[in-house]
Structure 1
Amino acid sequence: MATPDRFPLPQVPETSRKPEWLKVRLPHGEGYERVKAIVKRTKLATVCEEARCPNIAECWGGGTATVMLMGEVCTRACRFCHVKVGAPPPLDPMEPIHLAQAVKEMDLEYIVVTSVNRDDRPDGGASHFASAIRELRRESPRTIVEVLIPDFKGVEKDLTTVAEAKPHVVAHNVETVERLTPTVRDRRATYRQSLRVLDYLKRRPEGLYTKTSVMVGLGETDAELEQTFKDLREVGVDVLTLGQYLQPSQYHLRVERFVTPAQFESYKKLAESYGFLYVASGPLVRSSYRAAEFFMKGLMERERLERLG
């Protein structure tokens, strides 16, 4: 376990103003504008826009996007998330086809597909995810497909449905340390259940790469973060992203601290010591992060060349 003096770097106390390192320029660029136009015309729901992601220009300009399936209304009320909560509408059976067509037109190198929680569905939407994966792989065989999935209540049959569709990467976020999980996430989402989900997916015969994300600035300690890194490696997680929690509205959890870039670098080195394939750690890092996706693309290209002999 880490002790407090193991991390001597300064940390910034809570303030009503964001520090300079969290400020970004307005998105622009030819690649960004092209993807933006297609997204608008096809009415594609992107997390990039919905969450006002600070990395949108870098990702869209570099051939990466994150899209949201199954509507914009979630059945769970996590206290860090700005997505609307309520009774979602019925699923659109044509959505996987329309998504695949839009991604093909955008000519993306990497697509991340995520969703709201759909506890109203018998399988939590697992079959809808699987349909989207299959359509994407058929329409854009050179595009790497990552899915960022809910926990599906931990039901292995539903996790199997997604895994058997063979995404290249499957992500499920633990979001925070174990102690804070009941405060940060909906009561139906538990830290241990998320670990079981990641463990099950890693042990599947499909040989999937697994990924998760942790927010900092919610009141966690360094020792708790280190324990989280250890827990994640024990269930075989390959890729970890660490980023700053930002309060989306006055009704959500407040930011307890703004973590400095130097401290993020310290966390990165600590996490790497546990053997993750890749760790992205920084104030503006999000679950879907261009640098991590670039790493996965390179890794899979090397594997392809090795198979060719």
Structure 2
Amino acid sequence: MASSNFIDYVKIMCRSGAGGRGSIHFRREKHVPKGGPDGGDGGRGGHIILRGNSQLWTLLHLKYRKHVAAEAGAPGEGGRRTGAQGEDVVLEVPIGTVAKLADSEEFLLEITEEGQEVILLPGGRGGQGNVHYKTSTNQAPRAAQPGEPGLEEWIVLELKILADVGLVGFPNAGKSTLLSVVSAAKPEIADYPFTTLVPNLGVVSYRDDYSFVMADIPGIIEGAAEGKGLGIRFLRHIERNSILLFIVAATSENLRQEYDILLNELKKYNPELLDKKRLLAVSKCDLLTEKEQKTVIKQLPPDVPYTLISSVTGMGILPLKDKIWAALHTEEVSQ
């Protein structure tokens, strides 16, 4: 994913179509001088609809489309003919897109499946023609309903990446390197913080032709939930992951403190994230002696299954995949 093309937040003005007005019309035929009312109803205004498209992975195509307006319904006609419906506007969005009202941040809907269609803003109903107003005491009504106005709202669309496993860690912890080793993804890798500026997805092959999807989330730092660094921009992507795989580098001065900081940032952003299954991988273990590895293990939290790994030598990669697969398909995660 190129950083210039990955857009996970857009704000657009949407306006659904107004309903057409009802018709005031009377039947006029030869030898039928007083045929009575026959004004038809107005057509429905066009909807604004969101449709899931699994071929999309960004909201880039909507970034510069600031205004979206559906067509108004046509007015009714004589002969009880209903006006044509306004044409709907269908916006294709990636799976995992959430729609909110821009002003209040009120949740409206989310798209979670390929081909799923949800009406974002409904079009106005068409007004009734004068044929509906005929009574025993009013045989020639000259009244009809106007069409309902369309809805107009500023809408925020947010993309939350759908993945089985989300990698959570400090910048330069080795997340991108791990993803590049276990999948065909080619994230940018360098020996400095914040190399990853956008989430990267990779399909990880497992035994017997099985697979799962792993997401490399840009590094989190202390204070990310308050907007420091890049964390606040990408924390939303972690919400959709089934499992959180914490990555802590073996070269860290205090592994337990790093893990606690990461956990605390997730808690401040959304306490529900702590209900997800957690695994811990200690990266760069090829740089440690066997004695140093034992020292590292003593620092790890006792309640989280861990694996010592090295993306360079392949150490622990297969056992890590086994634990991830077990966590995805069982209720409990064992050490």
The answer to which structure has the higher helix fraction is: 1
Name the TM-score, length of structure 2 as normaliser: 0.32
Name the TM-score, length of structure 1 as normaliser: 0.34
**Structure with the greater relative contact order (CA < 8 A, sep ≥ 6): 1 or 2?**
1
Pair member with larger Rg: 2
The answer to which structure has the higher strand fraction is: 2
